[in-house]
Structure 1
Amino acid sequence: MPRIPGGATGVVLALLLAACTGGPGDAASDEEAAQSPADPAFVADNEAWRAERRAALLEPDGWASLIGLHWIELPAHYVGSGATNGIRLAKGPEKLGMLQQQGGRVWLVPDPGAALTVDDAPAKERIELLPDVSGTPTIVAFDEGKGQLSLVDRGGRKALRVKHAEAASLTGLGPLEYWPADPAWRVQARFVAHPQGKTIPIMDITSRQAPQPNPGAIEFEHGGAGYRLEALEGEDGGLFLVFADRTSGHGSYGAGRYLYTAAPDAEGRVLVDFNRAYNPPCVFTDFATCPLPPPENRLDLAVTAGEKKYRRP
């Protein structure tokens, strides 16, 4: 998982917003409520996290560097920035090579003048592109390393994902806005484990649905009411939460936000810090395939914490 309109996608977003948001006044009234006082160390810790968040987005191959997502429809495509290519890149060599797919596998035959590299070594022969779901995706670099292309697999359908260090979304990245850090939004939750192997259907921004491992749910209280979120697998035994709330579309991104937690402890306790809720990559680029919140994760609660909606320059 990543650490989103028109057509079918627009329908997905419209349904999501209708289901999970209240009127603009709901979020505003909650935001005006008195916040818990925050000590300087807590505020400084959040400022450091926000600085790291921005630095990650500004990496030459970070999410803001995406310049293309090209679905592979034919057995063979020419790839490059020239007008005669079947897959035309926004940046890069005029002729990068020929893409071939057969039996669920994909290869790239480099053009002699493209100067491609894989693992810093010149790539001159036919290359098999291993997809992101393999755990060891093949990264092909071009433009002296400023550009990268790789293969993504979404339910068996494959696409070329293209990044470039000179992407306008990266070089022109605007400010990230947040609600004030508030310790009241650091909640102690209880992890409720599901039977091993349980999955939950997750739809992404491209309207494709796939089962994802669903190890359990977290239950917590806020403002005297109880809430529950289904969890996906995170990192190092932790949890990944994809949720929407009553600020979605009214202060925060309409299609929801993401949040990682550490692994639950031996008693099933897990700290959920909504101050660390952040926007999915699709806020910054049109070329990501972000998972959307499942119906179970549309909170009847205004989470006035974490990252607000990003306004593209």
Structure 2
Amino acid sequence: MWRHILAGLILSTGVALVHADTAHTAAAPDAYQQSIEQWRAKRVANLNAPDGWLSLIGLEWLQQGANRVGSAADNDIVLQAGPAHLGVVTLDKDGKLHIALAHGVDARIDGKSLREATLIDDAHATGQAKPTTVTFGSASFYVIDREGRKALRVKDTTAATRQHFLGIDYFPIDPSWRIVADWVPFDPPHDLQIGSVIGTIETQKVPGKAVFQRDGHTYELLPYQEEPGGELFFVLADRTSGHETYGAARFLYAALPVNGKVVLDFNQAYNPPCAFTAFATCPLAPPENRLDLRITAGEKKYRGAH
């Protein structure tokens, strides 16, 4: 799931970087710094896009049966934006979803002027398809599925979090935090329990571990892949967490191992959406990835934390 949300931030900027060799980085620090600055600029642009994470204004859990939706107080789900009575979202006992818009409401379902439709959530949108999106004015929502629980993820291009975004603070770019780690594959893959801020626990398959040294000590990190053959995704915490950096976790992607090595560029360690909004469902760093080490690279804690 995080592939669809976050990977676009990394793929467009990070692939060439992680395949650069250490000697080249040392020989051309200016080029390396420029590449990180470009990565940061794209990261901020995606975060602050009209439909980016800063546009979230709601995470509304659906109950089985009919859920009346709108901005008026007499709805089952009260939205922060939109018409007083938008319509009814029905969740049946088999997990199927249907929406019926109220008469006279100016709204679109996947861009079409429909009055009723089946809603496909993010867990059941196949291939390149996206979940069904209902748009009304500057706001919209689609359904997310988290371990069988379903909720409306509500966005608004005029959200206060987007309009008053304070930018991102960083540690200084430091090439020494671009670390070439040893890759130890697991055969078969290991199971890793990943909790989330909403209390769910998912079991992820871990294909191996990255082992690296820093200041004479050895550390290990366990990644998982959000899709078969995809990049390595690390959810990690360290001794800066909860102090200089966001407490729950930071994220890091890495290209697949080459010749038993994997590049961990902690200058690209970044905050999860939950650092910016209360309406996200981010994973937490598992105990295995909480390092007794100060990683003074990447993004710092957001100054405008909710």
Q: TM-score range by the shorter chain?
A: 0.7 to 0.9
Is 1:153 the counterpart of 2:145? The answer is: yes
Could you tell me how far 1:197 is from its partner in structure 2?
5.6
Select which of 167, 179, 185 maps to 1:187: 179
Q: Does structure 1 conserve the Cα–Cα contact (< 8 Å) formed by 2:108 and 2:136?
A: no
Q: Does structure 2 conserve the Cα–Cα contact (< 8 Å) formed by 1:139 and 1:148?
A: no
Aligned to 1:259: 252
**Distance (Å, rounded) in 2 between the aligned partners of 1:171 and 1:232:** 34
Could you tell me how far 1:301 is from its partner in structure 2?
0.4
Is 1:143 the counterpart of 2:160? The answer is: no
SS at match of 2:108: strand
Select which of 97, 101, 111 maps to 1:106: 97
Counterpart amino acid of 1:220? F
* Structure 1 unpaired stretches of 5+: 4-35
Counterpart amino acid of 1:224? G
Counterpart amino acid of 1:110? L
Could you tell me how far 1:299 is from its partner in structure 2?
0.3
Aligned to 1:70: 60
Could you tell me how far 1:234 is from its partner in structure 2?
4.5
SS at match of 2:193: strand
**Distance (Å, rounded) in 2 between the aligned partners of 1:215 and 1:111:** 49
Could you tell me how far 1:196 is from its partner in structure 2?
4.5
Q: Does structure 1 conserve the Cα–Cα contact (< 8 Å) formed by 2:134 and 2:142?
A: no
Off by >4 Å, runs of 4+ in structure 1: none
* Structure 2 unpaired stretches of 5+: 7-25
SS at match of 1:293: coil
**Distance (Å, rounded) in 1 between the aligned partners of 2:104 and 2:38:** 44
Aligned to 1:312: 304
**Distance (Å, rounded) in 1 between the aligned partners of 2:131 and 2:226:** 23
SS at match of 2:288: helix
Would the alpha carbon gap of residues 196 and 147 (structure 1) be closer, same or farther in structure 2, given more than 3 Å must change?
farther
**Distance (Å, rounded) in 2 between the aligned partners of 1:153 and 1:302:** 35
Would the alpha carbon gap of residues 194 and 114 (structure 1) be closer, same or farther in structure 2, given more than 3 Å must change?
farther
Q: Does structure 2 conserve the Cα–Cα contact (< 8 Å) formed by 1:129 and 1:137?
A: no
Counterpart amino acid of 2:101? P
Counterpart amino acid of 2:158? E
**Distance (Å, rounded) in 1 between the aligned partners of 2:238 and 2:112:** 47
Counterpart amino acid of 2:196? D
Aligned to 1:128: 118
TM-score normalised over the length of structure 1: 0.84
Q: Does structure 1 conserve the Cα–Cα contact (< 8 Å) formed by 2:111 and 2:135?
A: no
SS at match of 1:131: coil
Could you tell me how far 1:80 is from its partner in structure 2?
0.8
**Distance (Å, rounded) in 1 between the aligned partners of 2:27 and 2:286:** 33
Could you tell me how far 1:74 is from its partner in structure 2?
3.5
Q: Taking every aligned residue pair, what percent have the same amino acid on both sides?
A: 43
